[in-house]
Amino acid sequence: MKLSRAFGTTLREPPAEAEIASHRLLLRAGFIRQLGAGIFSLLPLGQRSISRIAAILHEEMNAIDGQEVLMPVVHPADLWQESGRWYTIGSEMGRFKDKSGHDMVLAMTHEEVVASLVRGEIRSYRQLPALIYHIQTKWRDDPRPRAGLIRVREFTMLDSYSLDIDNAGLEQQYQAHYQAYFRIFRRCGLEVVAVQSDTGMMGGQMAHEYMYLTPAGEDTLLFCRACSYAANRQVARFQKPMPEPEDALPLEKVATPGAASIEDLANYLKIPKSRTAKAVFLMALIKEFIDGAPAERLELAFAVVRGDMEVNETKLANLLGAAELRPATAEEIQAVGAVPGYASPLGLSGARVVVDELIPRAPNLVAGANEAGFHLRNVNYGRDFTADLVGDIAAAGEGSPCPNCGQPMSSQRGVEVGNIFKLGTRYSQALGCEYTNENGEQKPVVMGSYGIGVGRLLACVAEEYHDENGLMLPASVAPYPAHLVVVPGKHSAAPEQAAERLCRQLCAAGLEPLYDDRPESAGVKFMDADLIGLPLRLTVGERSLAAGGVEFKARDGEEKWIVPLEEAPAAAQRFIDERLARLMPGR
């Protein structure tokens, strides 16, 4: 590919909205262009990199007996209504009507479509197990797209679906994906960790996320170095300190002027925060069926944790069965007779009270009195109030004791680049996907769902591999293996002639280069080569020819060396082969 004919240009400066390194550099290097919020076009360099990644995905999915299909981006809504997700997924789902007035859905994922295929194709246990996959466009109307390809609304995803007769078969395919995903990320040059995660809108029995650890990540992860426990903070458990038993003391109302926060309250009363009860008000959107028809309602959730802890909204939403949570307004809190900053579960009506599992075991806490400037001492669960729900709603954090071994956990930020789910019979039962077993009985197909965000994977690779001059892409992901630069001769056309001949030889060897034949200065060409970040730069000019041939330089190194012209294709091939070999699992 000649740069003089390339569609798309490099940029000296990134747009102001580019937040993180991968976003800035993919824009500057001419890989992507933004069309709208969370919507990007891939320019030729970006598309070639995505194609390189897709080739790896195909190889690894085929290696675990995956069969490629292609399912539609637009779905009839009745499939999503059958599964129930039409009613439980919020505004991030793309809904519209076709010309006939039928409700339609833009694909967020394809469990419903797979189930529709299965109930038409699978009849007997002899057709199972099976694994199908595709690489397809998805749409999720994220209200806060950010960071370039990290968080978008339209994206390309590898998603695969395992089909089995029982949970033992599901476990086998789940483990096959678990290992295949590590191979995929390793081949792309990305080190990831797998952590336990929330099943979210997918539902099912279990889920893991593959996380690329970076300060640019939006997810917080908890790790125990002592026993290898790892989980997303959304679902992370931790050992909660059990308070010493105490006799319940008489309830006492005390003045606490200006102590509307736990910090202020603890300081004012000279007690540890662990002796207080923290109240958090959230509005929960509950979606349900009433007399067979979908309905939704908002209810005020009054969540209580010990004052030295925080509420985990994912755990709380799961316990409530809520589709969405948002902070309650002061007006919504006051409408049930509570006072912001001094709220109490005692005597409260009109709200659903949810307490962390530690609250019933924590005696003589200080809680709000539902009166500005006052709190109650010696509040005891069971005697003074009860809850509608009791469960684990506390958030783990840096230093929290590991749930397995009790050692302090550490937290890190990460970006989710893949996920795997044990769906079980969640969709097959809802959509009637059954097979006949060897005894002639009808049984539901057991499903798994697995996905990798392809554009997000490219962005994470760019986030990992760059320096102050630009991208430094691994050989497996780079759009071209080499960047061929010609420095036009001042005294003859020998450099141009040699570079043209070398370009043809490289193409014949299967190493098509990005050939910078533009009438620009050597400095401009070298800056663009560094910005685009291909693994190897080959320079042909009067100086290199006088020195004996072609100047080689690795993008991630400073050393330059001369290779005779006739040996350059083979030397370039050895260089790329060695770089690819480094990325192969087991090396």
> By C-alpha distance, which of 54, 274, 230 is closest to 156?
54
Q: How big, in percent rounded to 5, are the helix, strand and coil portions of the chain?
A: 30, 30, 40
Distance separating the N- and C-terminal Cα atoms of the chain: 32
pLDDT grade, residue 307 (50/70/90)?
A: very high
- 420: which 2 tokens? 């795997």
- H/E segment holding residue 30: none
* Max Cα distance, the chain (Å): 100
**Is residue 299 within 8 Å of residue 283, measured between CB atoms?**
yes
Radius of gyration of the chain (CA): 29
Give the 3-state secondary structure of residue 168. Answer: helix
Residue 292 has what pLDDT? 66
Q: Which of 192-196, 292-296, 450-454, 580-584 has the lowest mean pLDDT?
A: 292-296
Mean of pLDDT values over 460-480:
97
**Is residue 174 within 8 Å of residue 166, measured between CB atoms?**
no
**Is residue 470 within 8 Å of residue 530, measured between CB atoms?**
yes
* 586 pLDDT higher than 70: no
Give the 3-state secondary structure of residue 393. Answer: coil
* 90 pLDDT higher than 50: yes
Q: Which of 36-45, 292-301, 380-389, 524-533 has the lowest mean pLDDT?
A: 292-301
pLDDT grade, residue 200 (50/70/90)?
A: low
* 110 pLDDT higher than 70: yes
- Of 253 and 14, more confident: 253
Residue 453 has what pLDDT? 96
- Cα–Cα distance measured from residue 302 to residue 352, given in angstroms and rounded to the nearest whole number: 6
User: For the chain, what percent of residues have pLDDT higher than 70?
Assistant: 98
- 141: which 2 tokens? 């109307």
Residue 204 has what pLDDT? 64
Domains of the chain in sequence order: 18-70+109-230+411-463 (3.30.930.10), 252-391 (3.90.960.10), 480-583 (3.40.50.800)
- Cα–Cα distance measured from residue 174 to residue 193, given in angstroms and rounded to the nearest whole number: 16
pLDDT 10s digits, 48-69: 999 999 999 999 999 999 999 9
* 289 pLDDT higher than 80: no
pLDDT grade, residue 202 (50/70/90)?
A: low
Alpha helices (H) in 260-418, listed in sequence order: 262-269, 313-320, 330-334
Alpha helices (H) in 250-366, listed in sequence order: 262-269, 313-320, 330-334
- H/E segment holding residue 112: helix 111-121
Cis peptide before 129 (omega within 30 of 0): yes
Q: Which of 242-246, 281-285, 489-493 has the lowest mean pLDDT?
A: 489-493
Strands 389-391 and 206-213: unpaired
Mean of pLDDT values over 276-298:
84
Residue 533 has what pLDDT? 97
Average per-residue pLDDT for the chain = 93
* 587 pLDDT higher than 50: no
* 13 pLDDT higher than 90: no
pLDDT grade, residue 297 (50/70/90)?
A: confident
**Is residue 431 within 8 Å of residue 258, measured between CB atoms?**
no
